């Protein structure tokens, strides 16, 4: 099926697409996800998964990515598994930069700017996605831990501020008492017999 926006569906393609959609929505679809697998939506010729509360954000980003896919993407000659002629110059980049460059190169904006084609393979995307998910989960846990520490420190700081305020009031009261007693001592020494 061509991916140049002038797609024509045959009856066989429609039936296959409908079967794939039913397989995705079926409770027995247990594949872990990924391109070409039944529960991700990618199996529908770069279509998008149905929006639910759980996958609405990823649905939106996938839909946007597909709407902005460069119109000459098919000319990149990419295969899911890759081939020996694939440009590997970007492969050494860290996952965040790699994803950013590959995403940009996949966009129609890149085509309009005469940027090179993307060079990714399916396994690369899946591997880097798992790496990023693991790092993200780790950073989310650290973020939550730091938030808890800040809350504890804030509570401790609030407690210390309250205690300081209480002590400051007592200091002021004791200073007043000291001045009054010094005045009374002066009176006592001068006037008492």
Q: Decide if 160 is inside a domain.
A: no
pLDDT for res 153: 96
Domain assignment present for 176:
no
Mean pLDDT value across residues 126-130: 96
Q: What percent of the chain is modeled with pLDDT above 70?
A: 68
The span from the CA of 35 to the CA of 37, in Å, is 6
Please check whether residues 76 and 95 belong to one and the same domain: yes
Q: Which of 28, 53, 15, 23 is nearest to 41 (CA)?
A: 23
pLDDT at 129 over 90: yes
DSSP H helices, 81-121, are 95-105, 108-112
Q: Is 1 helix (H, G, I), strand (E, B) or coil?
A: coil
Q: Which pLDDT belongs to residue 53?
A: 46
What the block records as the tokens of 80 is 């899911």
Q: How many domains does the chain have?
A: 2
- Whether this prediction's pTM lies above 0.85 is answered by no
- When pLDDT is averaged across residues 79-83 and rounded to a whole number, the result is 90
| pLDDT number for residue 59 | 53
In a domain, 130, yes or no: no
Task: Give the structural domain span for 80.
Answer: 72-120
Residues 61 and 10 both lie in one domain:
yes
Mean pLDDT value of segment 178-184: 96
Measured between alpha carbons, how far is 95 from 101 in angstroms, rounded to an integer? 10
């Amino acid at each position: 099926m061509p991916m140049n926006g002038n797609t024509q569906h045959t009856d066989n393609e429609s039936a296959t697409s409908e079967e794939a959609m039913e397989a995705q929505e079926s409770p027995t679809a247990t594949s872990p996800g990924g391109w070409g697998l039944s529960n991700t939506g990618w199996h529908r010729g770069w279509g998008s998964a149905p929006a639910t509360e759980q996958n609405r954000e990823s649905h939106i980003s996938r839909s946007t990515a597909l709407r902005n896919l460069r119109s000459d993407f098919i000319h990149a000659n990419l295969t899911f598994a890759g081939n020996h002629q694939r440009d590997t110059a970007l492969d050494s980049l860290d996952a965040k930069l790699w994803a950013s460059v590959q995403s940009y190169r996949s966009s129609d904006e890149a085509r309009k700017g005469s940027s090179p084609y993307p060079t990714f393979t399916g396994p690369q995307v899946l591997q880097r996605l798992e790496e990023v998910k693991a790092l993200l989960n780790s950073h989310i846990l650290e973020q939550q831990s730091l938030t808890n520490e800040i809350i504890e420190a804030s509570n401790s700081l609030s407690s210390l501020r309250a205690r300081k305020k209480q002590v400051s009031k007592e200091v002021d009261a004791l200073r007043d008492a000291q001045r009054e007693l010094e005045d009374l001592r002066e009176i006592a020494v001068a006037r008492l017999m």
